[in-house]
Amino acid sequence: MHKISSWDNVVLAYEPVWAIGTGKVATPAQAQEVHAELRKWLETNIKADVAASTRIIYGGSVNGSNCKELGGQQDVDGFLVGGASLKPEFIDIIKAAEVKKSA
Ligand SMILES: O=C[C@H](O)COP(=O)(O)O
């Protein structure tokens, strides 16, 4: 971690392997729990301002139906989208992330 010169250029992604391309998505509570732990780790091991500003995104079977609730979690800052990025519902996922970004 000491080799990172600017945390502004870092995005963390949580992607449960069992959720990638399977249609099985983490529950919003599961995602929030892991993202909060990652942010806590940054606060403890790096700096409080880095913890607050680093984007932590979720990946794994995100789609137009689950993006709003996932994105509504306090520590979910966006998504890593695979299969749904090839479908029209991708616009809903982008919108869900944009609402969070502007909040
Ligand atoms: O890069 C995308 C991730 O591996 C998630 O893929 P998925 O949305 O198809 O599950």
pLDDT in tens, the chain (103 residues): 568 889 999 999 999 999 999 999 999 999 999 999 999 999 999 999 999 999 999 999 999 999 999 999 999 999 999 999 999 999 999 999 887 666 6
Which one, of 15, 7, 99, lies nearest residue 54 by Cα?
7
Of 66, 80, 86, 90, the residue with max ligand 1 atoms within 8 A of its CB, to mutate for a pocket test, comes to 80
Residue-level pLDDT at 2 = 63
Residue-level pLDDT at 103 = 63
**Ramachandran class of 27: left when φ > 0, alpha when ψ lies in -120 to 50, beta otherwise:** beta
Establish whether residue 64 lines the binding site of ligand 1, counting it when its CB lies within 6 angstroms of any ligand atom: no
Of 62, 65, 87, the residue with max ligand 1 atoms within 8 A of its CB, to mutate for a pocket test, comes to 62
pTM for this predicted structure: 0.91
ipTM over the 0.90 cut-off: yes
Residue-level pLDDT at 101 = 64
